[in-house]
Amino acid sequence: MTVEVVMPKLGMAMKEGTVSIWNKGVGDPVRRGEPIASVSSEKIEIDVESPAEGTLLKITVPEGEGVPPGTVICYIGALGEEVAAGLTLEEVQKPEVENQSPANEKTEPFTPVKPADRVKISPVARKIAEAANLDIEKIHGTGPGGRITKEDVQEAIMNSHTPQAERKKETNETPVRPQEETQQIPVSGIRKVIAVRMFDSLQKTAQLTINMKADVTVLIALQTQTAETVQNRYDNKLTVTDFIARAVVLSLQRHGQMNSAYSEDKIHLFKHVHLGMAVALEKGLVVPVIRDAEQSTLIDLSRSIKTLAQKARQGQLSNEDMHGSTFTISNLGAYGVEHFTPVLNPPETGILGVGAVNDTPTYIGEKLERRSILPLSLTFDHRVLDGAPAAAFLQTVKQYLEEPITMLL
């Protein structure tokens, strides 16, 4: 019996899902639980597993096409089994025998035709390769399961040899400059959502960024001193990011105006702190949320940060995991960045940018010492609060980081 495979609902707010790539083609055998396609919503991409063992008889949603959840994307059944009539979605791969015959003629049995392309490649990478006339079968994929990524195609283009242009003959005429060819990369999925949200953020809010530096020498020493105890007792490792998150949560409780949102000419102050932690992925930035963070201990925060980051990298975040934040932290320290200007995550009032810790000669009184300095960049909505209260909030974060023992009491 034919089994329908439908577009899954990846969250309560999901209205449309897109087939990113088909791992199987019409006529391919599939096993129960085997990934047959990757689908994505605005911020999530997951593998769709086959619900039954059999043959992929029909694909009804091509790569790159968006459909509502519950829409049939393909059919699986026994080899040669006919698929029910009445389908309205265009097929990606049509077997030759599917051309309908007149009613009085005998219909040929179903014979699956192998598609020409079985290479696992993302839609964006495929378009770039086609524009550059590259043979994707000769490109080595570095993505999961050997999937070819955009970076793989770009590297292949750089390594390809193109004939040099013939030297122009010396003439009195002015040479005509040929139009430069460009690569056109369609913006979709996560990248499109980020583009729209960031543009709207800059257009619809009054953003101002202030910078400050915190001396985290004592904090790093405390982290080192407690590492063995934390590992043995909690099976965990505290990072500087964990301490920063704790400092931010405590500071937001003391400066409630920063834990707010501006909407419909009103400032909405939140009772609880729902902390967003930005995570960079290959396809873009996601911000999973730690809810009721003020109720979490330092160890609890550390575990939540690691768990959500792992889920983000494995594509297991739900829409609910990424909605409802009241303040966000974005850490670019791992990339060697110092101060930067983070962009607000609407409708939040503030976002803290964290840079890389650098050892710097610093005067402590009359004595020059080597200290670990952490750059902080706070972007806030000037419609909600002015520079002085924003600076007071950042000063409180700095105090917690410079006196880390206060975060444990």
pLDDT, tens only, 374-397: 999 999 999 999 999 999 999 999
pLDDT range class, residue 301, cuts 50, 70, 90: very high
pLDDT digits (tens, 9 = 90+) for 250-300: 999 999 999 999 988 899 999 999 999 999 887 778 899 999 999 999 999
pLDDT the model gives residue 184: 77
pLDDT the model gives residue 337: 94
Evaluate whether 36 touches 20 at the Cβ level (below 8 Å).
Answer: no
**What is the rounded average pLDDT of the residues 391-407?**
97
Closest by CA to 333, choosing from 324, 321, 342, is: 342
| Residue 178 CA: distances (Å) to CA of 175, 182, 183, 190 | 9, 12, 16, 35
Question: What percentage of the chain carries pLDDT values higher than 70?
Answer: 83
Q: Tell me which of 123 and 404 has the higher pLDDT.
A: 404
Whether residue 183 is predicted with pLDDT greater than 60 in this model: the reply is yes
Q: What are the catalytic residues?
A: 382, 386
Rounded to 10°, the helix 387-402/240-254 angle is 130
Name all domains of the chain by residue range, CATH numbers in brackets.
3-118 (2.40.50.100), 206-407 (3.30.559.10)
**What is the rounded average pLDDT of the residues 230-250?**
96
**Amino acid letter, residue 11:** G
pLDDT the model gives residue 42: 66
**What is the rounded average pLDDT of the residues 24-38?**
88
Question: Which bin fits 350, alpha (ψ -120 to 50), beta or left (φ > 0)?
Answer: beta
CA 16 – CA 67 distance, rounded (Å) = 5
pLDDT the model gives residue 178: 66
pLDDT the model gives residue 254: 96
pLDDT the model gives residue 375: 97
Per-residue tokens: 352: 């803290």
pLDDT range class, residue 248, cuts 50, 70, 90: very high
Closest by CA to 378, choosing from 281, 287, 251, is: 251
pLDDT the model gives residue 153: 83
pLDDT the model gives residue 126: 76
Angle in degrees, CA 309, 313, 316, rounded to 5: 90
The pLDDT mean for the chain works out to 83
pLDDT the model gives residue 377: 97
CA 263 – CA 180 distance, rounded (Å) = 45
**Three-class HEC string of 328-350:** EEEECHHHCCCCCCCCCCCCECE
Residues present in the chain in total: 409
pLDDT the model gives residue 230: 94
pLDDT the model gives residue 308: 95
Whether residue 103 is predicted with pLDDT greater than 70 in this model: the reply is no
Evaluate whether 48 touches 39 at the Cβ level (below 8 Å).
Answer: yes
pTM of the predicted structure, to 2 decimals: 0.61
Rounded to 10°, the helix 123-131/150-159 angle is 20
pLDDT the model gives residue 256: 95
pLDDT digits (tens, 9 = 90+) for 314-357: 888 888 888 899 999 999 999 999 999 999 998 999 999 999 99
**What is the rounded average pLDDT of the residues 162-175?**
48
**What is the rounded average pLDDT of the residues 361-366?**
91
